[in-house]
Amino acid sequence: MKNLIFTLIVGLLGLSASAGDIMEGFDSLGGNKDLYNKAKALHPETEIKIVQGRTVSRKFRHEFSPQVASFVGGDAYLSTDTLGLTYHFHINHRWSVGLNYFYAFNSLTSEAKALISNGLQPKLTEPLVPDLDEPRQGYLATVNWYPIYGKMSLYDLGITQFDLYLTAGTGVMELSSKGTGTYTYGGGLGVWFSQHLTGRMELRRQVYDTERFTGKHTMNLTVLGLSLGYML
């Protein structure tokens, strides 16, 4: 499933831009050539990289990213992975607002399968069935703040710019029982490989209410997400 998801991501990116356009400016993120030449003249025997101000401007730009994510630490009987699409509108290099849609793929954990298997034994008059309320799909609106940025050399192929950011948002989810509200908060790492190619790794908490046989139950779980996107 995850191999298929990553294949879909690569395919979507291929439809949005050519490889040359995506990688435009990849090695130019080191920036100031005059400063580089002066430093190189002083120490010709030394390998020099220039790290300076932001060179990928995000002001009033649009970022589209297919995203894969996993729900961790939620229901002991349910494993959930999601495939979604995220949109960010960058107000400036400090702030962006976003919209996220995800579709969930659910499967039983080994604990749930063991419970069902044991429940089918002839000696039991009532089979044991895990009490589940599966997520189906969801929508989120988020606000993102980028207080820390830096640059790094990526395998000597070029200089990439990155930001550490905080995110918070709210939205709705469709469960197998009903629709419910949800909210989320956390942080992530955004990498700007070039003027167009972007990547994100995000770790956040997500909270929502489910319906069980015993009544309402609050889920407070961790979401780990990865995305590769294109910025207009």
Q: What is the tens place of the pLDDT at every residue in 69-124?
A: 999 987 777 889 999 999 999 999 999 999 999 999 988 877 767 766 665 555 55
- How many CB atoms within 10 Å of residue 45? 5
Dihedral pair phi/psi, residue 114, rounded to 5° = -65, -40
Can you spell out the DSSP letters for 41-108?
A: HH-TTS------S--S--TTEEEEEEEEEEEESS-TTEEEEEEEEEEEEESSSSEEEEEEEEEEEEEE
Domain count, the chain: 1
Q: What is the CA radius of gyration of the chain?
A: 23
Residue 185 and residue 145 in contact, taking contact as beta carbons nearer than 8 Å: no
For residue 129, the enclosing domain spans 2-231
pLDDT computed for residue 115 by the predictor: 67
**Contacts of 29 by beta carbon, 8 Å cutoff, 6+ apart:** 55, 56, 151, 158, 159, 160, 161, 192, 194
Q: Kindly report the CATH number assigned to the domain that includes residue 73.
A: 2.40.160.20
Q: What is the pLDDT of residue 50?
A: 57
- Strand partners for 155: none
How far is residue 155's CA from residue 160's CA, in Å, rounded to a whole number? 10
Q: In whole angstroms, how far apart are CA 77 and each of 26, 56, 173, 198?
A: 45, 44, 19, 35
Cα(221)–Cα(182) distance, integer angstroms: 11
On the question of pLDDT at 146 being above 90, the answer is yes
Residues 6+ apart with CB under 8 A from 125: none
Q: What is the pTM of this model?
A: 0.74
Lowest mean per-residue pLDDT among 30-34, 48-52, 123-127, 145-149: 123-127
Confidence tier at 4 by pLDDT (50, 70, 90): very low
Question: How far is residue 191's CA from residue 231's CA, in Å, rounded to a whole number?
Answer: 12
Q: With 60 as the cut, is the pLDDT of residue 17 above it?
A: no
What's the distance, Cα to Cα, between the start and end of the chain in Å? 29
pLDDT band at residue 227 using 50, 70 and 90 as cut-offs:
very high
